[in-house]
Amino acid sequence: MARKKKLDFSDIATDRKKESLNQKDFWARYGVTQSGGSRYESGRNIPKPLAILLWLRSGKVSDKDLHDAAK
């Protein structure tokens, strides 16, 4: 049986800071407000659709792709 891999975003703030982005700019990529992003960075559960976007952005989808999809 295949083992399910849990997406881990416990270091999402560290990842954001590595990109030298503030919360507003980082989370806006995903249609999330700064305050919502702050809550996720503080440990609130990230909804599955957002988790999928974050995972895709980790090397599979570019900022331009996200921007174009939001149109």
pLDDT, residue 5, reads: 58
Residue 57 domain flag: yes
Is the pLDDT at 20 greater than 60, yes or no? yes
Q: 3 lies in a domain?
A: no
Domain assignment of residue 1, yes or no = no
Is residue 26 included in any domain, yes or no?
yes
How many domains does the chain fold into? 1
The answer as to whether 20 is a domain residue is yes
Q: Are 16 and 26 in contact (CB under 8 A)?
A: yes
More confident residue, 70 or 16: 16
Q: Report yes or no on 22 lying in a domain.
A: yes
Both tokens of 27, joined, read 């989370």
On whether the pTM is more than 0.75, the answer is no
In the chain, % of residues over pLDDT 70:
87
- Print the domain residue range for 46: 12-70
Residue 45's identity, in one-letter code, is N
Structural domain contains residue 36:
yes
User: Does residue 45 lie within any of the structural domains?
Assistant: yes
